[in-house]
Amino acid sequence: MGQKEKEILDRGNWSGRLDFILSCIGFSVGLGNVWRFPYLCYRNGGGAFLIPYAIMLVIAGIPLYFFELSFGQFASQGPITVWTVSPFFMGVGWAMVLISAMVCTYYNVIIMYSVYYMMVSFVNMDGDLPWQHCDHEWASDLCREEPYPKFDSMTNETDKIKSAMELKHTNCLTSLLANLSESFSVNYTTYNDLNSSILIQNTTSCDKDLKLPSAEYFERYVLRLHEANGFGDFGGVSLKLVICLLLTWVVIFFCLMKGIKSSGKVVYFTATFPYIVLIILLIRGLTLEGFEKGIEFYMIPDWQKLKDPK
């Protein structure tokens, strides 16, 4: 047996062509498609974001992906030892390992949250989920279950004012009275003199930072951020999150303990399941109220965002 054949046997071999193809698909579609890409698309002008994304995908993404794939298949070595072909680029291999270590660390934290929420969902299958309502100890005064008021559908001025006032800081409104009086040439003595139109359109700086119970549950119960005294305060250890993180790493260990022999079988699930989830999320999104606004935002690009890259 030659040295080359021995190295391949030591590293393991793909059981079949389908294992390799599904592994490539699994590495291409992951958390970023569900978690990061929609956020970046929303933040950078909807459909307009696809133009620079497609350009960088063609110029950098696909060529680098193909180069790494073909180089690894040809040499059958790891990201560090493969660069013995040119020791000058050995640092590239170390950088790839360090980046992979950092990415898998914080990706596993996200998976840990998913595992935790999945467990809580199973425990509360017969009742309401804990992040559906604000009547919990962890909820703050800014927790709000009701959606943002639809002022356009309200015909009663009193109802509009009442709904708008629930969203405002009264002290802030008082401080704006002088400026509002000057702008509208009306002497406003108290915020009760303001009509609904002014409250809704001209006092946005006084809006309360209201949060849904789902956001408060994550920040105040799961992460307990309100107990921290600053960025440097790491706080205590959450036993429930430690158990979920440990479970995550145990699953990863069993998936990778035999190299591509075991991971090649796992990808039959991990490579196809994300597509199923994406289809489910698409169907769910299309059944939500106001879905047409999201489609409109995506299909009608904001070209000005391309001039303000972030």
Q: pLDDT digits over 44-83, tens only?
A: 877 788 888 889 889 998 898 888 888 888 887 888 888 8
Q: Please indicate if the annotation marks 26 as binding a ligand.
A: yes
Please report the pLDDT score of residue 1 as a whole number. 47
DSSP assignment of 185-238, as one string?
T----SGGG--HHHHHHS-GGGB---B-HHHHIIIIIIS-GGG--STT------
Q: Please indicate if the annotation marks 124 as binding a ligand.
A: no
3-state helix, strand, coil in the chain (%, to 5): 70, 0, 30
pLDDT band at 38 (very low <50, low <70, confident <90, very high): confident
pLDDT band at 119 (very low <50, low <70, confident <90, very high): very high
Which region holds residue 96: left if phi is over 0, alpha if psi is between -120 and 50, else beta? alpha
Please report the pLDDT score of residue 154 as a whole number. 80
pLDDT band at 7 (very low <50, low <70, confident <90, very high): very low
Q: What is the pLDDT of residues 221-280, one digit of tens each?
A: 998 888 777 777 677 788 999 999 999 999 999 888 877 777 778 888 888 887 888 889
Q: Please indicate if the annotation marks 97 as binding a ligand.
A: no
Give the Cα separation of 176 and 266 in Å (integer).
60
pTM: 0.77
Q: How far does the chain reach from its first CA to its final CA, in angstroms? A: 55
pLDDT band at 10 (very low <50, low <70, confident <90, very high): low
- Amino acid identity of residue 119, one-letter, is M
